[in-house]
Amino acid sequence: MELVDKSMSNATQRLMNNATQSGMDNATERTQSVLQDGYDLPVYGLDTGWFLYIHVPALCCIFVSLFCASAVIIASFRSQTRPFFSWMRSERFVVYLSMCDALFNLTHSMDHLQMVITKDHVYPVELCEFYSYFLALFSSAQFLVTNVAAFKAFGLIYLQKEFGLGKYDWKLLLYTFGIPFMLSACAALLGYYGPTGSYCHFDAVKGAVANIFFTTVPMTAVLVANIVLYVLTWWKIHTESKRIKTMLGNEAQTVRASHRAAKMMSLFVTAFFVQWWALGIAIVWYKFAVIPKEYLTITVIITNLGGVVNGVVYIIIKRRRDRHGNKSFKSPRHSLKDFGNNHRKVDVSVIDTKM
């Protein structure tokens, strides 16, 4: 009798184990079948009460940033009497970055505002893809503009060359807007855009892998490149600044002019770090652990203040321009090659008037 009971018990246990395993397999299959795209994921923060702590600060920062970016664009054009492409390059860079900020903020305000009103993902999917495309386009353009600024400062100081941007800045515009335009179009056509849970960008399900190659890797590469170029540029400026004391007349003037131009370009790299450092940390953090909701809010606030940061850069550039006046237009044309340095091929008059 005991043997019969034991056999029945073992059989019952096996049946229960098989049923449990079958149930788990079915649940896994259902989960996999349900998560077709980002719309199958819950809206971030609704279940924890953190929803408004993400979107309200984001909207406040976005509108402040949009106001500052618009003010910089208007002030830049009102303060100039010359054609746009005859402005100093630092002044043109401010306008390019402010335009990216303004368009980025305008688009981003729409998806955040819609989510706050509906407390749901952005519908229809075509509208979310539309937002995603322009968010990716303008944020990527910002990264590349600052990358050009870092490379120009590096080339001017470390490589001792002045790299042109082409007539009407066509080289700059092709690099900073042409590449993001093509990549964003490819991502849109392949269906990688959609809801992330907090806003519209790369779909949290369909575009998770694509996000690594379209966003994480390029952004990390630009960030590292900017850091390296920034450090090398300032190290060279620091070492050359000591030599200026031993130089005479026009030679010292030329070196100071190149340093001033490189520092102008470095301002944009500094602004890039201020705006995107929190997001850079969040991207790495997310790969290894869950990001605390408090840090996510901090990231949202800092990342959406680009217009304010570039507004500060505009004020610095304007003050420096007003302080130096039009001395650069009256400066004689000299290069360090004239003073026996055969490696430097930078024209001081070009630096001051075009940089």
Which of the two residues, 197 and 353, has the higher pLDDT score? 197
Name the percent of the chain in helix, strand, coil, to the closest 5. Answer: 75, 0, 20
Q: What is the pLDDT of residues 218-232, one digit of tens each?
A: 888 888 888 888 888
Q: What is the pLDDT of residues 125-184, one digit of tens each?
A: 999 999 999 999 999 999 999 889 888 888 777 777 777 888 899 999 999 999 999 999
- 89: number of Cβ within 10 Å: 22
pLDDT at residue 244, as a whole number:
63
Tokens 């819609």 correspond to 114
Distances (CA, A) of 166 to 81, 122, 217: 22, 41, 28
Q: What is the pLDDT of residues 37-70, one digit of tens each?
A: 999 999 999 989 999 999 999 999 999 999 999 9
Q: Which helix (H) or strand (E) holds 258?
A: helix 249-288
- d(CA 308, CA 354) in angstroms, rounded, equals 25
pLDDT at residue 332, as a whole number:
40
Burial call 339-354: b when 16+ CB within 10 Å, e when fewer: beeeebebbbbbbbbb
The set of residues, in sequence order, having a beta carbon less than 8 Å from that of 93 and lying 6+ positions away, is 145, 149, 265, 268
Among residues 263, 269, 272, which one has the least CA distance to residue 355?
Answer: 263
pLDDT at residue 1, as a whole number:
45
HEC letters along 187-244: HHHCCCEEECCCCEEECCCCCHHHHHHHHHHHHHHHHHHHHHHHHHHHHHHHHHHHHH
Beta bridge partners of 195: 200
pLDDT at residue 23, as a whole number:
42
Q: Which two tokens stand for residue 53?
A: 């702590």
pTM: 0.79
Distances (CA, A) of 43 to 40, 128, 234: 9, 14, 44
- d(CA 258, CA 238) in angstroms, rounded, equals 13
Among residues 179, 169, 191, which one has the least CA distance to residue 38?
Answer: 191
pLDDT at residue 180, as a whole number:
94
Q: What is the pLDDT of residues 180-201, one digit of tens each?
A: 999 999 999 999 999 999 999 9
Strand 193-195 relative to strand 200-202: parallel, antiparallel, unpaired?
Answer: antiparallel
pLDDT at residue 27, as a whole number:
37
Asked if the model's pLDDT at residue 249 lies above 70, the reply is: no
- d(CA 319, CA 17) in angstroms, rounded, equals 76
Terminal CA-CA length for the chain: 98
The pLDDT-based confidence of 251 (bands split at 50, 70, 90) is low
pLDDT at residue 156, as a whole number:
75
- d(CA 194, CA 196) in angstroms, rounded, equals 7
- 331: number of Cβ within 10 Å: 18
DSSP class of 43: P
HEC letters along 271-307: HHHHHHHHHHHHHHHHHHCCCCHHHHHHHHHHHCCHH
Q: What is the pLDDT of residues 63-118, one digit of tens each?
A: 999 999 999 999 999 988 899 999 888 889 999 999 999 999 999 999 999 999 99
Asked if the model's pLDDT at residue 235 lies above 90, the reply is: no
The separation between CA 143 and the C-alpha centre of its own chain, rounded to angstroms, equals 4
Q: What is the pLDDT of residues 280-332, one digit of tens each?
A: 888 878 778 888 999 999 999 999 999 999 999 999 888 887 776 544 434 44
Asked if the model's pLDDT at residue 344 lies above 60, the reply is: no
For range 237-249, the mean pLDDT? 65
pLDDT at residue 113, as a whole number:
96
3-state secondary structure of 14: helix
pLDDT at residue 33, as a whole number:
52
